[in-house]
């Protein structure tokens, strides 16, 4: 399970890098703030439901 989690984190990291690599520092900060406040916009369906219940 840990290996799959690492792969998911890397996939998300790479996706975010591609989306932000041409942005200014100010635009990158805005992107990060949006991700912190509304993670579903930044991570979408990347994370499977938690086997422990809850939202994952």
Tell me which H or E stretch contains 38. Answer: none
- State phi, psi for 54 to the nearest 5 degrees: 80, -165
Structure confidence by residue, pLDDT tens digits, 2-30: 788 888 889 888 988 888 899 999 998 88
Supply the pLDDT for residue 25: 92
What one-character DSSP code corresponds to residue 48? P
pTM above 0.85, yes or no: no
Residues 6+ apart with CB under 8 A from 55: 49
């Amino acid at each position: 399970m840990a290996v799959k989690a690492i792969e998911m984190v890397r996939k998300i990291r790479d996706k975010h890098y591609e989306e932000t690599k041409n942005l200014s520092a100010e635009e990158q900060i805005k992107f990060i703030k949006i991700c912190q406040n509304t993670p579903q916009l930044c991570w979408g369906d990347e994370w499977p439901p938690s086997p422990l219940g809850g939202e994952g």
